[in-house]
Chain A
Amino acid sequence: MTAATTQVEERHVPPLGGFNLTALRLEIRRMLRNRRTLMFVVVFPSVFFRIFGMSSKGVRSAGPSALAYIMISMAVYGAMVGATAGGAAVSVERSFGWSRQLRLTPLRPAAYVAIKVLTAMMLGLLAVAVDFAVGAFSGVHMAPQVWLLSGLGAWLGSLVFAAFGLFVGFLLPSENVMQFVGPLLAILAMFGGLFIPLAALPPALQTAALFTPVYGVGQIARAPLVGGFTAIAVVNVIGWTLAFGIGAMALFRRDTARV
């Protein structure tokens, strides 16, 4: 009526709850600016790969497929750490009040979560790509479809950990959530057979490993190379994604309801 602001057109609600590619691009760029995240995602897995894969005579004598095995394992590790870091970034945003600020924009909660998951998965993809590039330069030879399928397997596994990252991000109100989560991820990675083959573990631990969140991802990512694509692995991935996803959504609801 008396509003004389400069708008002329009828006001609208943005499509897709505010989800858009500009926001996604800026988020990814911001993530890549974080040196600590880059260390975890890009540098560590590649360095581990060089240490485990290139220095040990055992691996060399076991032939190129052992090297490929380690490379894929490190790709999974990088993807899971990257995706977790991306998801867990919500805890920083909450502690800075950014989440609250976003509630003063048209951005819908589901669109916010979608942006966070995709950002986390981009970090995961980056980790896989860098690790595979280091592997290729270090003499890993695999059939093209093995490269592709293993890479996809490792990357899709980061979905589990994007959900996991969001879960811990909403759970822990800490700026340095990754300091708590990092060691946990290393233990989970061991149960997923990323650092040592599962067969090297005691039988009881091998059985327990079937139920841990990295197991399925590791199996699926390595399957194109060594086989082992099982229903248990698929169920494991789906189960943990759902568990973390539902947990994250529940905490997210609690978070937005409280204020």
Chain B
Amino acid sequence: MLAVDLQHLTKRYGSVTAVNDLSLQLESGEIVAFLGPNGAGKTTTIDMLLGLARPDSGTVRVYGRSPADAIARGDVSAVMQNGGLLKDFTVKETVEFTASLHANPRPVAEVLDRAGITAIADRRVAKCSGGEQQRLRFAIALLSDPRLLVLDEPTTGMDVEGRREFWRAIREDAGCGRTVMFATHYLDEADAYADRIVLIRQGSIVADGTTAEIKNLASGRTVRATLPGADADTLKALQGVMSVEIRGDTVIIQCTNSDVVARHLLTETPAWDLDVSSKNLEAAFVALTANDAAEPAGVAP
């Protein structure tokens, strides 16, 4: 059974289309990063996935049920960006209160331990740091032992140490086959913790693949040279060439093996002004998610 099945979701706020015909399927046990710049539609999509917002069109199924049903049975839980805690409860009381609302919660001591906040159990929420509050939200989310855990920008506003601690707790927990979907705009988080990356821009998915595939998208190099009358077909036939673009006297070649291309240009053709540059994940991310980007180059899932 699919953990998540989103079909043709669209959500508009006034004249703004926050999510545009988005479809996404997650298999059970996947750890998926939902990556995109601010305002790309990540939170709106997650709100619809959790039943906090109603799609204008399209359907949401979580383990075959509606979001409300899935939540009522503890199939899904979430760590939201911020807010959602009462200052005058202690850490432990917050967990106890939430535990009392579930049919078969995990023991309070267990989730405190798994979230790494046993030591601050008696501290008032108001006195907890941002990272501690986030781990408290994580503890709450673990109570139902959910099959799907959704994290919406879970480390926003945390310092480096806080982020590391938080992800360590998530990672230790994810070992047991839980499906995890997290939204982030940090590339390194997606890279380090996901086995699949879904890139979203302007409410649509622009790339979806394994972390390696998404990285490949970005790992190529660009070879540029001045070569009047370049023969595109010959260049395309070279090993590792992905695309050839000719702009007047300039030829721009995207490739995975820049050495082969450079050697060919310098030995077999009169090309000059040769320039080799590499793209990184950051550049691919920017290219794929920038608002003025051309039609996205998708990677087949």
Contact = CB atoms under 8 A, between A and B. Distances in A.
Interface residues of A, number: 36
Contacts of A57: none
Contacts of A5: 145-147, 176-178
Interface in B54-98: 63, 71-75, 77-78, 80, 82-89, 93, 96-98
B85 A106 contact: no
A107 B103 CA distance: 10
B177 A96 contact: no
B27 interface: yes
B25 interface: no
B83 A107 contact: no
Contact of A100 (B28, B80, B101, B102): B80
A105 B73 contact: no
A259 interface: yes
A202 B47 CA distance: 56
A56 interface: no
Contacts of B243: none
B277 interface: no
B33 interface: no
Contacts of A6: 145, 176
Contacts of B28: 1-3
B76 to A, nearest CB: 8
Contacts of A22: 96-97, 99-100
Interface string A25-52: 0110110011000000000000000000
B274 interface: no
Given A3-B147, A26-B93, A103-B52, A96 B101 contact: no
A104 B50 CA distance: 7
Contacts of A2: 27-29, 177
Q: For B1, B53, B72, which residue has the most chain A Cβ atoms within 10 angstroms?
A: B72
7 contacts: A7-B104, A12-B103, A26-B89, A26-B96, A96-B85, A97-B85, A106-B101
Given A11-B104, A12-B104, A26-B89, A105 B98 contact: yes
Contacts of A93: 86
Nearest to A31: B88
A49 to B, nearest CB: 28
Given A2-B28, A4-B29, A9 B104 contact: yes
A30 B85 contact: no
Contacts of A29: 93
A14 B163 CA distance: 34
A11 to B, nearest CB: 4
A11 B52 contact: no
Given A3-B179, A5-B147, 10 more contacts: A3-B177, A4-B29, A7-B145, A13-B72, A23-B97, A26-B96, A97-B84, A98-B84, A101-B85, A105-B98
